[in-house]
Structure 1
């Protein structure tokens, strides 16, 4: 029985080694990067004894799309708290930039990043009933990555000041619409 188990395990290991996926271009690298484990902060207010620097696996689900990027929400590491008018969702968001978006980001960064380098940005945001904010902790600021998953820039660039910027909601604005999308993703679509 032990020999059969050992043979089965070795066969699986050999098949896994020979059937490795092949990356093709920036899209393959992006998809691979989206599934990787990234070091991020744990934002669990319900568990004060939890570690601030845990390794998390992200489950990115599409949230909305603009001309410059597509935004994904991490369904594994979102936290919803409160009731009625005191509801709030804290979640990791990821922006996947189009070629046009990456170029625009570089051109409007005042030399902080080069055009056509950034492919995605990961940041933590809170969406409440009346307003939204981006986390401003040292380790939570937006992180900008290239196609090879290298950290290129840490901090906010001009893309954080667009139509979907955070703050108090104006009825019918993009920020309010994003709140509604996030609330619906966590089952608060009432």
Structure 2
């Protein structure tokens, strides 16, 4: 009889502890749901019409510098002031001087610069953008050139960007042209700094 009462006592104790554990489980589950529903209702609720709104945080000061955005490629355009056969001959000589290589498939020139894996591309500034092979036949009139280069993945590899800007400045001086940025606006020192990084 004593064994039976002990077993009954243990069984009833286990049952009571199990019910307490189940109750605690449901209590915590319900409290989590309430917290979630409060958060959701706070996001959905809008302030009443007569509520006073707090003043907006002051806007950050306007920066006059050009925004730093990522570019797929940088481009500069040199439009010749007085295109002529002499200018085309100067262009041919300059392309030889900067060691440009003509690509007959894309009909552009590539300047290896400091990073031959990312050459500076020289194309026609006017549509369709193709350049004649001036090394073989310089009987063409070129009215301007565009210089294109992909930006480096890391800033410390910007040597090619320096070459790119130098080539554009050289071309502007040699051909007495106008140097324009990608938006066809006159290029400035800010433009160069944005490219060089």
TM-score above 0.5 = no
**Structure with greater strand percent:** 1
More relative contact order, 1 or 2 (CA 8 Å, 6+ apart): 2
TM-score normalised by structure 2 residue count: 0.28
**Structure with greater helix percent:** 2
Larger gyration radius, structure 1 or structure 2: 2
TM-score normalised by structure 1 residue count: 0.29
